[in-house]
């Protein structure tokens, strides 16, 4: 069956998604670039809106199958199956799906290759040794369950890896992985069935230790365990998600259903979800042993027990602690200079070593800050190593899971300058000057340094 036919068949099912309505006037959140302003101060190349798509040619050839489905024109191509956000063009509070980063370990699976992802075929199994009454849900069943929406950032653990190379003094030998720059983060409204609803329906035994979110669709190692206690702590805020920004999930973002764990590194939010297993054992698989973990001299390998469960890995693969909450971070909407990184994203707006240009004079610099564990308390900036000054936070600020936009005036004098930004969260934790190396380049939250040439 063709993609189009699948889509047509899905229509009846997905129209239900929107019946629940939303809590917010979404239009007020998609503030136009004109209202908030892209980095209009930066040379036009970085401020301009995306170019309109090329006119279709007379006889379009059938496009080759792509590893991701969305159009590349509004994202940064950093590898075969990974796209970063063009964060220097961000201006809205909500990130449009078209501009939202995609982090896939394998190509995006589509219904043609994986019929079990069709909305009328999909099933979610909820079972395990700690479950009283195992449950199997269809997509229609899921849509009938009580749902909530949450506006939250989603960020890849590897976002900001670039900072290890550009300002941490580390090489491609020390730190390996995709060159996301700062764009593997976005903010969306997620509609989900909270885990609390699921737990109430299946009944959880007192012995529960682990909740394993599993796909197995895009690759046979794609799933991630979460400690049961952590899921309970967030049981109303996280869950089984089927809509993003008010529309059904697209292929790249986990169609038809994914997990969403606000505030935790993106890996926890397993896409193309098929199974939730709640067990009395600790579970180890690739994404909490040797992939998506802190690996380096400052990090010890976690302990394991004889009766732990291993999926496709052994005890010897347990190399470092998994990433959980994402730390406080910030950026201004200026492309970071890429000078020392082992790779340059194919469609990056700057050449290797090139500085972004800004016209001399009074400018308003703008940026984004987030700190999902405790929420953003304040954002500061400094210029050329001077005193830290308070940036102005622009509303809305909808709580700890949402990012904020900030701005500050700058009277830019001709010459080269460095702008730094620093988020402090409500627990008093501020972005540090530097962080210890970890070889997979996880969660670099050090103060970013943006170099700019003013003329
Ligand atoms: N099944 C599956 N789920 C997955 C992944 C994946 O490759 N396969 N990537 C994870 C990672 S590392 C991240 S950062 C987020 C990215 O979500 P997005 O592509 O919707 O932005 O999905 C997570 N869920
Ligand atoms: Mo990720």
pLDDT tens for 262-306 read 999 999 999 999 999 999 999 999 999 999 999 999 999 999 999
Mean pLDDT of 361-371: 98
The pLDDT tens digits for 296-334 are 999 999 999 999 999 999 999 999 999 999 999 999 999
d(CA 209, CA 258): 22
Verify that 141 and 3 share a domain, yes or no: no
CA neighbor of 76 nearest in space, from 323, 372, 343: 343
Domain boundary among 317, 340, 365: 317
Q: 61 phi and psi, to 5 degrees?
A: -75, 150
pTM for this prediction: 0.89
Verify that 111 and 239 share a domain, yes or no: yes
Nearest protein CA to atom 21 of ligand 1, as residue: 102
pLDDT classification of 62: cutoffs 50, 70, 90:
low
Quick one: DSSP state of residue 403? Answer: -
State the CATH number of the domain containing residue 227: 3.90.420.10
Ligand 1 atom with the shortest distance to the CA of 217: 1
d(CA 358, CA 42): 5
252 lies in some domain: yes
Alpha-helical runs (H) found in 177-242: 195-202, 228-233
27 lies in some domain: yes
Verify that 116 and 249 share a domain, yes or no: yes
77 lies in some domain: no
Q: Ligand 1 in contact with 446 (CB < 6 A)?
A: no
d(CA 362, CA 375): 31
Verify that 143 and 281 share a domain, yes or no: yes
41 lies in some domain: no
Ligand 1 atom with the shortest distance to the CA of 292: 12
The pLDDT tens digits for 211-250 are 999 999 999 999 999 999 999 999 999 999 999 999 999 9
Ligand 1 atom with the shortest distance to the CA of 215: 1
225 lies in some domain: yes
Extract the runs of DSSP E, i.e. beta strands, from 280-328: 283-284, 309-310
Torsion of CA 267, 270, 271, 277, to 10 degrees: 170
Nearest protein CA to atom 10 of ligand 1, as residue: 267
Q: Ligand 1 in contact with 117 (CB < 6 A)?
A: no
Six-digit token pair at 392? 């102005």
Q: Ligand 1 in contact with 103 (CB < 6 A)?
A: yes
Beta strands 247-248; 210-214: pairing state: unpaired
Q: Is the pLDDT of residue 28 over 80?
A: no
List the domain range (segments joined by +) for residue 20. 1-33
Q: Ligand 1 in contact with 425 (CB < 6 A)?
A: no
Verify that 163 and 28 share a domain, yes or no: no
164 lies in some domain: yes
378 lies in some domain: no
Q: Please give the mean pLDDT across all residues of the chain.
A: 90
Domain boundary among 273, 291, 317: 317
Distance 442 CA to ligand 2 centre (A): 9
3-state secondary structure of 434: coil
Total structural domains within the chain = 2
Q: Is the pLDDT of residue 19 over 80?
A: no
d(CA 92, CA 180): 20
d(CA 49, CA 61): 28
């Amino acid at each position: 069956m063709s993609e189009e036919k699948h889509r047509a068949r899905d229509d009846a099912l997905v129209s239900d998604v929107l019946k629940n309505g939303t809590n917010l006037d979404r239009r007020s959140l998609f503030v136009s670039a004109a209202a908030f302003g892209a980095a209009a101060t930066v040379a036009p190349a970085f401020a301009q809106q995306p170019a309109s798509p090329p006119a279709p040619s007379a006889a379009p050839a059938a496009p080759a199958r792509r590893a991701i489905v969305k159009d590349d024109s509004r994202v940064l191509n950093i590898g075969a199956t990974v796209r970063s956000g063009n964060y220097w063009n961000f201006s809205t509070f909500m990130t449009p799906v078209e501009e939202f980063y995609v982090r896939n370990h394998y190509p995006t699976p589509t219904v043609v290759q994986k019929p079990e992802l069709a909305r009328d075929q999909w099933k979610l199994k909820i079972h395990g040794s700690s479950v009283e009454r195992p449950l199997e849900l269809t997509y229609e069943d899921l849509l009938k369950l009580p749902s909530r929406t949450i506006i939250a950032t989603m960020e890849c653990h590897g976002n900001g890896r670039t900072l290890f190379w550009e300002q941490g003094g580390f090489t491609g030998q020390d730190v390996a992985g995709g060159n996301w720059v700062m764009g593997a983060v976005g903010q969306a409204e997620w509609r989900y069935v909270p885990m609390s609803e699921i737990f109430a329906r299946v009944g959880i035994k007192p012995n529960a230790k682990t909740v394993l979110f599993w796909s197995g669709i895009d690759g046979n190692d794609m799933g991630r365990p979460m400690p049961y206690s952590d899921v309970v702590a967030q049981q109303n805020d996280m869950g089984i998600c089927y809509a993003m920004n008010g529309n059904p999930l697209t292929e790249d973002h986990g169609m038809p259903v994914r997990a969403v764990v606000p505030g935790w590194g993106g890996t926890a939010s397993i896409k193309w979800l098929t199974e939730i297993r709640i067990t009395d054992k600790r579970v180890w698989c690739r994404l909490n042993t040797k992939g998506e973990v802190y690996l380096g001299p400052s990090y010890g390998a976690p302990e394991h027990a004889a009766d732990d469960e291993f999926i496709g890995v052994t005890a010897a693969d347990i190399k470092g602690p998994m990433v959980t909450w994402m730390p406080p971070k910030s950026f201004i909407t200026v492309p970071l200079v890429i000078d020392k990184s082992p790779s340059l994203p194919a469609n990056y707006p700057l050449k290797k070593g090139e500085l972004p240009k800004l016209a001399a004079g009074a400018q308003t610099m703008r940026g984004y800050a987030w700190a999902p564990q405790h929420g953003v308390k304040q954002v500061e900036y400094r210029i050329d190593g001077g005193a830290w000054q308070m940036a102005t936070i622009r509303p809305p600020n909808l709580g700890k899971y949402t990012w904020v936009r900030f701005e500050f005036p700058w009277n830019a004098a001709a010459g080269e300058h460095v702008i730094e930004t620093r988020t402090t969260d409500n627990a008093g934790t501020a972005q540090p000057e530097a962080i210890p190396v970890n070889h997979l380049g996880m969660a670099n939250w050090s103060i970013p340094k943006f170099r700019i040439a003013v003329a």
